Amino acid sequence: MSAEGNEPEKDRKAPFWSDIDLRAVAPFVALILLLVLGALANPNFIGLNNLANVATRSAFIAIIAVGATFVISAGDLDLSVGSMLAFVASLMILFMNSGAIADPALMLTAAVVMAMVVGALCGLANGLITTVGRIEPFIATLGTMGIYRGLTIWLSQGGAITLKSPEIQQIYGPAYFGSILGIPVPIVVILAVTLIAAFVLYRTRYGRHVVAVGSNSDVARYSGIAVNRVRTIAFMIQGLCVAVAVLLYVPRLGSTSATTGILWELQAITAVVVGGTALKGGAGRVWGTICGAFILELVGNIMLLSNFISEYLIATIQGSIIIIAMLVQRSLTRKV
Amino acid sequence: MLKKLMGVAFVAAALTGTAYAQEAKTIGVSIPAADHGWTAGVVYHAERVAALVQKEYPDAKVIVKTSPDPASQANAIQDLAVQGLDALVILPTDPDPLVNAIKQVKDKGTFVTIVDRAPSVNDSTVRDLYVAGNNPALGRVAGEYIKDNTPDAKVVVIRGLPIPIDQQRQDGFDEGIKGSNVEVLDRQFGNWNRDDAFKVMQDYLTKYPQIDVVWCQDDDMAVGVLQAIEQAKRTDIKYVVAGAGSKDMIKKVMDGDKMIPVDILYPPAMVGTAIELTVAALYDKIPVHGTYTLDATLVTKDNAANYYFPDSPF
Taking residues A46-65, what's their average pLDDT?
Answer: 91
Report yes or no: B313 at the A interface, CB cutoff 8 Å.
Answer: yes
Residues in chain B with CB shorter than 8 Å from the CB of A45 are 206
**Per-residue confidence in pLDDT tens, chain B, 314 aa:** 555 555 555 555 555 544 445 578 899 999 998 877 888 899 999 999 999 999 999 888 999 999 888 888 988 998 888 888 999 999 998 888 888 889 889 998 999 999 998 888 888 888 999 999 999 999 999 999 999 999 999 999 999 888 788 889 999 999 999 999 999 999 999 988 889 999 999 999 999 999 999 999 889 899 999 999 998 999 999 999 999 889 999 999 999 999 999 999 998 999 999 999 999 999 888 899 999 999 899 999 999 999 998 888 88
C-alpha span between A304 and A319 (Å, rounded): 15
pLDDT at A155 over 80: yes
pLDDT at res. B191: 87
pLDDT digits (tens, 9 = 90+) for A212-269: 999 999 999 999 999 999 999 999 999 999 999 999 999 988 888 888 898 899 999 9
Predicted local confidence at residue B150, as pLDDT: 94
Minimal C-alpha gap between B200 and chain A (Å)? 8
B195·A253 Cβ contact <8 A: yes
Between CA A200 and CA A68 the distance in angstroms is 14
Instruction: Work out whether strand B154-159 and strand B213-215 pair parallel, antiparallel, or are unpaired.
Output: parallel
The amino acid present at B74, given as its one-letter code, is A
Cβ B2 vs Cβ B134: under 8 Å: no
The confidence score (pLDDT) of residue A13 equals 56
- For residues A17 and A307, the model is more confident at A307
Asked whether the predicted pLDDT for residue A90 surpasses 70, the reply is yes
d(CA B206, CA A230): 45
- Let me know: does A266 contact A77? Beta carbons within 8 Å: no
Among A122, A70, A83, A119, which Cα is nearest to A231's? Answer: A70
- How much is the pLDDT for A302? 87
Q: Is the pLDDT of residue A336 over 50?
A: no
Check CB contact of B148 with chain A, cutoff 8 Å: no
Pairwise CB contact (< 8 Å): A304 & B188: yes
% chain A with pLDDT above 70: 93
Q: Which residues of B touch A42 (CB under 8 A)?
A: 206-207
Residue from B267, B270, B269 nearest B291 by CA = B270
Number of residues that this document lists for chain A: 336
pLDDT value of position B163: 78
pTM: 0.79
Mean pLDDT in residue range A55-66? 94
Contacts of B252 in chain A (CB under 8 A): none
Number of Cβ pairs closer than 8 Å across A and B? 91
Poorest-pLDDT segment among A79-88, A109-118, A318-327, B135-144: A318-327
Given this model, what pLDDT does residue B216 score? Answer: 94
- Which among B34, B202, B220 has CB closest to A153? B34
Contacts of B248 in chain A (CB under 8 A): 160, 162
Of chain B, the end-to-end C-alpha distance in Å amounts to: 31
Q: How far apart are CA B39 and CA B217, in angstroms?
A: 16
The minimum CA-CA distance between A153 and chain B, rounded to whole Å, is: 7
